[in-house]
């Protein structure tokens, strides 16, 4: 049994982490640390937890204890830099859900996030925790950088192809769509219901900070072709849907491709290969990523979808915790839907 510290645990992602921690049989206790919510009671912030999760005060992030075994950090970019070096030096294990340790280069981090990285020595020792990609590195790491929500959906859809057919790819173009919860809880006028209802819009075109994160991983798997990435907002709360178009030098066989994807994820319970493009509603409120591939002549279309707050954040972080501790990666994540009261998906 372990003790867990949640630093920045009262946003949308923190709420999901609290729920996962509360029902995790390997976690004996967890403490929540916040900034503006410090000294508030948990059930005041989240009244729906009353009678389900033990009410407790949110402590100040200025008073983070070093007595926990593992720490989740869910802070805006730049925030984790104030905690991670001290925690790692104290021998603790850390899962950072922000962007501070995702990129391998301090120069790239400054370029895309506008902040000088203060612990660049940790960038090469961290594990980029795309939990459904096989690696034997978990026992050797103390810092896991949890991938972004867009990169999780895009990469899980693309990596089997790039891994097996990088030499066959001419270009890759991804259009990705997200619910507004991806922008966090801070109020913004452009995300008001009156602005978003019945509306769809592209944003950060050619300038989204998840693009270098995606490209970094694709290049590690052998991609050397052009890649474009365009994000859009949907008038929904949660969910990410990505459609990736791949132009090929030569045609691939549909049945062979499906077999390759199935083999690639055969030991990963949270990735489901679908015969047809998935519906977003199949994965909301779950840790699943649903993927479909369709090839015609020299054009391949990959569709993939996730819940941005779970598979794209808190659920993957919990999956990473399970892998870090050598536990079954599905603990607390809803594969037993009767026990955890998850609705079944199609």
Buried b (16+ CB within 10 A) or exposed e, 164-173: bbeebbeebe
Please name the residue that has the structure tokens 């607390």. Answer: 332
The three-state DSSP-derived secondary structure of 232-270 is EECCCCCCEEEEEEEEECCCCCHHHHHHHHHHHCCCCCC
Phi, psi of 115 (to 5 degrees): -130, 140
Q: How many residues does the structure list for the chain?
A: 346
Neighbouring-strand partners of residue 232? 177, 202
Q: Confirm whether 149 is a catalytic residue.
A: yes
Are 2 and 23 in contact by the 8 Å Cβ rule? The answer is: no
Catalytic residue of the set 21, 149, 168, 289: 149
* Alpha carbon 322 to its chain's center: 15
Are 317 and 149 in contact by the 8 Å Cβ rule? The answer is: no
Are 157 and 291 in contact by the 8 Å Cβ rule? The answer is: yes
Are 138 and 127 in contact by the 8 Å Cβ rule? The answer is: yes
State how far the Cα of 280 lies from the Cα of 305, in Å rounded to an integer: 6
State how far the Cα of 15 lies from the Cα of 17, in Å rounded to an integer: 5
Are 93 and 27 in contact by the 8 Å Cβ rule? The answer is: no
State how far the Cα of 294 lies from the Cα of 296, in Å rounded to an integer: 7
Q: Residues near 131 by Cβ (< 8 Å), separated by ≥ 6?
A: 270, 316, 319, 320, 323, 329
State how far the Cα of 32 lies from the Cα of 64, in Å rounded to an integer: 9
Q: Would the CA dihedral through 17, 343, 337, 303 be positive or negative?
A: negative
Return the active site residues. 149
């Amino acid at each position: 049994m372990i003790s867990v510290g949640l630093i920045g645990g009262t946003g949308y992602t923190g709420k999901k982490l609290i729920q996962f921690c509360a029902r995790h049989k390997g976690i004996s206790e967890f403490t929540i640390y916040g900034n503006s919510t410090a000294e508030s009671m948990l059930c005041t912030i989240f009244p729906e937890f009353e009678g389900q999760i033990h009410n407790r005060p949110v402590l100040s992030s200025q008073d983070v204890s070093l007595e926990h075994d593992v720490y989740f950090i869910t802070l805006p970019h730049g925030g984790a830099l104030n905690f991670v070096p001290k925690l790692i030096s104290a021998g603790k294990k850390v899962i950072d859900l922000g962007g501070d340790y995702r990129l391998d280069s301090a120069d790239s981090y400054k370029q895309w996030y506008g902040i000088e990285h203060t612990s660049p020595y940790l960038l090469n020792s961290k594990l980029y925790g795309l939990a459904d990609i096989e690696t034997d590195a978990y026992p050797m790491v103390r810092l896991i950088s949890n991938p972004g929500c867009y990169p999780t959906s895009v990469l899980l859809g693309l990596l089997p192809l790039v891994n097996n057919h990088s030499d066959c790819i001419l270009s890759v173009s991804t259009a990705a769509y997200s619910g507004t919860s991806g922008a966090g809880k801070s109020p913004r006028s452009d995300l008001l219901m009156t602005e978003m209802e019945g509306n769809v819009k592209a944003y950060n075109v050619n300038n989204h900070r998840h693009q270098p994160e995606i490209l970094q991983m694709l290049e590690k798997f052998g991609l050397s072709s052009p890649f474009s990435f365009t994000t859009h907002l949907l008038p929904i709360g949660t969910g990410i849907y990505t459609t990736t178009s791949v132009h090929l030098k030569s045609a691939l066989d549909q049945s062979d491709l499906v077999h390759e994807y199935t083999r690639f994820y055969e030991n990963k319970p949270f990735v489901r290969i679908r015969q047809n493009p998935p519906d977003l509603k199949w994965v909301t409120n779950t840790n699943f990523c649903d993927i479909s591939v369709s090839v015609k002549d020299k054009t391949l279309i990959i569709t993939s979808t996730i819940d941005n707050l779970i598979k794209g954040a808190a659920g993957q972080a919990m999956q990473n915790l399970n892998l870090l501790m050598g536990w079954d990666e599905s603990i607390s994540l809803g594969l037993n839907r009767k026990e955890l009261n998850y609705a079944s998906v199609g």
